[in-house]
Structure 1
Amino acid sequence: MRVLPLLTALCVSVAQAEVPAALNGIWTVEQTAPVNGTPAPRVEVFISGSSLRGSFGCGKFAGTLSAGDNRVRMAVASLPPAPNERCLYAANLPLVRELNVATRYVVTRDHLVLFSGTSRLVLTRIGFVTPVSPR
């Protein structure tokens, strides 16, 4: 049947979709809400090509993104801590939920603002990355 090759080609082209170069970088979240009454830790987000990873204190997260025409779609999940690590931020990160519901973005040289229907997340660029080319 011809549907399978077409579906495979579509999946490959989506997986290798280019993310606008301006999104590539190392970002930090400007304001994060306290967690369980304690000040929130530093948040870093690394975007390179269509992959995204980051940290929320000792909590780690990773996923993928696609973007274009000021629209964004992210699929991000919290990562489990190392077996010998106890981490308050290891699961159910509010930041991960905010990234996953973002639908639009605006980017400048120094700032990335992600919008959802109910909130906005402001990130400040703290570094640059060179995206890995797909093989």
Structure 2
Amino acid sequence: MDIPFLSYLPTEVQLLNDAYNLVIDAILGPETDHEEVKEPYAGMLVTLKQVKIPIVSVDVPSGWDVDEPSKDGITPEVLISLTAPKKCATGFLGKHFLAGRFLPFDIQKKYELNLPDFPGTECIIEL
């Protein structure tokens, strides 16, 4: 007998809230068409939208369009952008970090990126 996903969703959300202090969101990449997310990922996004524990998203929060701030995606408390912040990060209101000081200068110049200087040998900086 098939049990609809939503019938056990509240239990799954409660288990996450009770068992963990935070969730790392690295489910979907920036190339993902957020309008075409299929199972099991669509169910994971529904669950993440309901958890009460903090979410830390890597590069682009799952369910967000890479070029626009989210209207109905998940709501992370922390965003760790890789290489350079994506356009969608302009609407992000939580703590925002940039990881990776490895973007060549010619690429930074070509795309007119104004990236911060990383102190010492640090590979991550808060924006």
TM-score (norm 1): 0.23
For CA contacts below 8 A with separation 6 or more, give which structure has more relative contact order. 1
Higher helix share: 2
